Amino acid sequence: MDSKQITDAMFEKILSPKDPQGNDLAFISPEAKKQYQDNVTRFKNTIEFKKTDRVPVTVFPSMFPLAHAGITVQEAMYDYDKCVSACRKFVLEFQPDCQFGAAAPGPGKFYEILDYKLYAWPGHGVEADHSYQCLESEYMKPEEYDLLITDPSFYFRNFYLPRVFGAMGGFQMLPPLTGTLEMYGLAYNYIPYGLPPVQQTFKALFDAGAEALKWAGAMGAFDGEMAASGYPNILGGFTKAPFDTIGDTLRGTRGIMLDMFRRPEKLIQALEAMTPIMINMGISAARQTGNPLIFIPLHKGADGFLSDEQFKKFYWPTLKQVILGLIEAGCIPFPVAEGGYNTRLEVIKDLPAGRTLWMFDQTDIIKAKEILKDRICILGNVPSAMLQLGTVEDVKDYVKKLIDNVGKGGGFILSNGAFFDKAKAENVKAMVDFTKEYGVY
Amino acid sequence: MRQKLIQAIVDMKEAEALALVNEMLNNGIKAMDVLSAVKEAMDIVGKKYEEGSFFLPELILAGEILNQISQLVKTNMRDAVKTDRHGKVLIGTVKGDIHDIGKDIVTFMLDVNGFDVMDLGVDVAPEKFIQAIKDFQPKVVGLSGFLTLAFDAMKDLIAEIDKAGLRDKVKIMIGGGQMDEQVKEYTGADAYGKDAMSAVRFAKSWIGG
Ligand code: B12
């Protein structure tokens, strides 16, 4: 099978979904089944620039469904049923063509068991009704590049993880797994597993794993229920641009930007070392979920962050490899160009036609369409501020402008531009309903 | 040597710039004179950022070079080149939001452009802003916020400033991630700026300099 056939085969399977027992999913009605299949097909055809009945519409929020249902982020993080009810209300009320699951708040107890230090979350440094927030720091030291480059997994386990999880201190004592070679001397490698700190770490991991499983059960059941009601979730997994992997939570913004001057060769080597890992992260998630769409939130290559030259030298080469590697395996990379990407459009436009989906926020999306033409499907971009502060008329005008200018000829999915926490419900409703009405081809 | 130092900083040659500073100090050149050269270099860095030939990495490195030079000459630019401070700007990330990169860059740019900046940090409660307006008496207040939750935090803060009878004493600018003109209207601020240079432009237009 070539890569496109793999994608097609994945969609074939999505079109006849199974329940957890492996039987055909029981749709709540024949209409729900038809709606589900139409929604999946409309999405796929749009991404591939084939004819469809209308412009697809989706909503990709952050914490909005929780506030909208009157619960706090904290409640959703600690009570999975509440989280699921809020997301159910969100999907059934706004009726997007595709939905993106209930996983955004995440399992609070799981983070507690592992003593997660990378983020502040409700009850742990931010207020109950606020989104979690990242605590920026140099979690990887500048002199550790060689360790990361030589063996990223060893570096993560023995250095990075113990810094961001209080409960993973025991990992610092473990030898590399690659020391296990032959019978002679074998047991020496396993002595640390007998030591209390290591055993404590594993104990915490078992508990965390049990909690994660419980949470994943709730998430999976939600997706199944939504599918049965006609709302597919085709999100298959997540990966990152190697520059963001290192720049967000390893070296941090300051760290990576200083490294561009102080140790550019090391940085590039590290980006290259992370590239196959980022590709595999997306592919293995897609294999597990059976869904092709791989979410890639793009951070530090946006307008204003880097010059053209810096973007082409440090950011794009490895991101491009990640995108191509995913396509090769039949996935549909879904880069989310956070911030503005106006100055990057000429660089990204040469990606294989009809194989990716790009979400834009503050990019001039009409100009993006002119440049990306019939190669790259665009998703976006009703602004957060408009959803929260604007009127229904503002939203309709904006949607109309998008459909008239970007929707022409297909390859466009209407949605919000950024992952929002707050909005007027009537504005979200207008965004979806008006697209369904006005977006008919 | 002064010209060489300026050039080294503008060319982002960190090691060379630091070596030159050491050499200048060894040759008996006064801290103040070193810093006035550094200040000139920072002005150029700021201009290049404004023109769009420099981006975040250059600003971050320039800030780092400035810190290191301040340590070498054992005094900071603010004290040494005090004379041409244009006026006071108070800045902080609003309550509930703990992001500081954007705010720090704005602070840096205001500082190198000759403003006397007081930075209150992140997750700053309205009471703290109000106290600082009373004590520090800035002409301009800059509010930074990364998340949409900051819309309401900014609106509430500005209402509090108004209630405290201080609203007409200060001009208020907002910025950060998801802000825009519509948010400016909503919060009752005087201006929205999309980057650190616009913060400098507003401060200049309100204070002069
Ligand atoms: C990098 C990033 C992250 C990193 C942050 C840590 C790190 N080490 O970098 C990571 C990956 C951890 C992350 C996590 C999340 N993020 Co994030 N992230 C971003 C991103 C891409 C860039 C932010 C940044 O670093 N900016 C750099 C600084 C320099 O820019 P700035 O703060 O805007 O400041 C500039 C200007 O705005 C201006 N300015 C700033 N202050 C002021 C003040 C005044 C007075 C003036 C005039 C100007 C001014 O000057 C500065 C320099 O030019 C933004 C999208 C974007 N492009 O803005 C999303 C974004 C902020 N994240 C978002 C989200 C949803 C999240 C998560 C919740 C995602 C999740 N589910 O996990 C989490 C948690 C929240 C959090 N941020 O902690 C959303 C927030 C939407 C919302 N609801 O408010 C955004 C907008 C992305 C999006 N398109 O939806 N994120």
- Span B149-157, mean pLDDT? 92
Residue whose CA lies nearest to ligand 1 atom number 65:
A419
**CB A257 to CB B54 under 8 A?**
no
Strands of chain B (E only): list them. 88-93, 116-119, 140-144, 171-175, 191-193
**What gap in Å lies between CA A282 and CA A294, rounded to an integer?**
6
Q: What is the mean pLDDT of chain A?
A: 96
Q: Which residue has the higher pLDDT, B5 or B81?
A: B5
**What gap in Å lies between CA A156 and CA A259, rounded to an integer?**
19
**What gap in Å lies between CA A343 and CA B67, rounded to an integer?**
31
Q: Does A253 touch chain B (CB under 8 A)?
A: yes
**What gap in Å lies between CA A146 and CA A160, rounded to an integer?**
14
pLDDT at res. B76: 62
Residues of B in contact with A131 (CB under 8 A): 147, 149
pLDDT at res. B82: 55
CA-based nearest residue in chain B for residue A309: B53
**CB A135 to CB B182 under 8 A?**
no
Contact A201, A169 (CB under 8 A): yes
Q: How is residue A268 written in tokens? A: 């590039």
- Span A136-146, mean pLDDT? 96
Q: Does A395 touch chain B (CB under 8 A)?
A: no
State the Cα angle at A241 between A240 and A245, rounded to 5°.
Answer: 70
pLDDT at res. A435: 98
Contact B85, B118 (CB under 8 A): no
Q: What is the pLDDT of residues A303-329, one digit of tens each?
A: 999 999 999 999 999 999 999 999 999
Q: Which residue has the higher pLDDT, A40 or B147?
A: A40
Q: Which of A135, A419, A420, A421 to mutate to test the pocket of ligand 1 (most atoms within 8 A of CB)?
A: A419
**What gap in Å lies between CA A296 and CA A90, rounded to an integer?**
24
Question: Sheet containing A357-360: which strands, arranged edge to edge?
Answer: A235-238, A293-298, A332-337, A357-360, A377-382, A412-416
Q: How far is the CA of B102 from the centre of ligand 1 (A)?
A: 9
Of the pLDDT bands very low, low, confident and very high (cuts 50, 70, 90), residue A150 is very high
Q: Does A307 touch chain B (CB under 8 A)?
A: yes
- Span A115-124, mean pLDDT? 96
Q: What is the pLDDT of residues A16-38, one digit of tens each?
A: 999 989 999 999 999 999 999 99
**What gap in Å lies between CA B188 and CA B155, rounded to an integer?**
7
Q: What is the pLDDT of residues A329-376, one digit of tens each?
A: 999 999 999 999 999 999 999 999 999 999 999 999 999 999 999 999
Of the pLDDT bands very low, low, confident and very high (cuts 50, 70, 90), residue B80 is low
Using DSSP, state whether B173 is helix, strand or coil.
Answer: strand
Q: What is the pTM of this model?
A: 0.95
Percentage of the residues of chain B whose pLDDT score is greater than 70 = 94
- Span A128-134, mean pLDDT? 92
**What gap in Å lies between CA A91 and CA A99, rounded to an integer?**
7
pLDDT at res. B135: 95
Give the helix/strand (H/E) hosting A378: strand A377-382
pLDDT at res. A266: 98
**What gap in Å lies between CA B140 and CA B175, rounded to an integer?**
13
Q: How far is CA B198 from the centre of its chain?
A: 11
